[in-house]
Amino acid sequence: MTEKFTRYITLGSFPYAVKFLQREREAKEYLRDLYNTVLLKDIIARLKISDVISLESVSKFLFHNIGGKVSPTKIANTLKSTGKGIDQKTVDKYIKGLCDSLIFYEATRYNIKGKGFLSTQSKFYCVDVALRNLLVRGRDSDAGHILENIVFLELKRRGYDVYAGQSGDAEVDFVAMSHDGIKYYQVAATALDESILKRELSSLRKISDNYPKYLLTLDEVFGAADYEGIKKINVIDWLLGN
């Protein structure tokens, strides 16, 4: 099962990509063509964008920073520091175009204690982790953010409205809401290190209500546990519905 999970991360989840199970180079070419087609025929043509380089820069920034708190102002300032002149309103327009085209999904922040939505610093997740891995190289291709992206997509597939949680100074990766209630999720590549486990559990323990709370990891040894009502589950088992 771990091998299939790795293949999913490498080749992605687009149905046509199944044709390339044994041909990774062709799979990557397909993903790149798909990305360029959406960028050119959907976003650029629909929004009548003339500065294609700036749009690509915003897109790559979001790919690099999946799971991180970002804002149009932060992106504009970062790009300006690299010599790419672009204002906040233009960045905002490009982000909306990227989300409308379903290359990215926005997870707005939710104040758990105040039970209200926060209007600043949303998080963004891409439609397919293999697409992200194709466009992002080096240290940004980390397991934690990739895993978080996968969990976000699965929660959306299961029909939840998904938000990034804020409880005081603590962050909760996901607040998943449906007509059945609320579920809270923390996601980490591993929680075998005692300090990491303590940190991940701490954010969930600060939530005072009794809705279900989960810690999802890739741990196989001690992959399942119960910490005073907080359930630790191996993420592959969770994806399979176990």
Lowest mean pLDDT segment, chosen from 14-18, 202-206, 230-234 = 14-18
Please determine, for residue 116, whether its predicted confidence score (pLDDT) is greater than 90: no
Task: Give the residue from 12, 1, 103, 126 showing the smallest Cα distance to 20.
Answer: 12
Give strand pairing partners of 56: none
Domain that residue 216 falls in: 2-239
CA angle 66, 71, 72 (to 5 degrees): 115
Over residues 215-226, the pLDDT tens digits come to: 999 999 888 999
Mean pLDDT of 123-139: 84
What's the structural domain count of the chain? 1
Please determine, for residue 194, whether its predicted confidence score (pLDDT) is greater than 90: yes
Mean pLDDT of 126-147: 80
Please determine, for residue 42, whether its predicted confidence score (pLDDT) is greater than 60: yes
Over residues 45-83, the pLDDT tens digits come to: 999 998 899 999 999 999 999 999 998 998 999 888 877
Residue, of 176 and 8, whose pLDDT is higher = 176
Q: Which pLDDT belongs to residue 149?
A: 96
CA 230, CA 208: separation in Å to the nearest integer?
A: 13
Over residues 139-152, the pLDDT tens digits come to: 445 788 899 999 99
Please determine, for residue 34, whether its predicted confidence score (pLDDT) is greater than 50: yes
Parallel, antiparallel, or unpaired for β 104-111 and 161-167? Answer: parallel
Token pair for residue 236?
Answer: 């592959």
Contact 12, 128 (CB under 8 A): yes
CB atoms within 10 A of CB 106: 17
Task: Give the residue from 127, 141, 236 showing the smallest Cα distance to 187.
Answer: 236
Total-model pTM: 0.90
Q: Which pLDDT belongs to residue 140?
A: 46
Mean pLDDT of 1-22: 77
Give strand pairing partners of 36: none
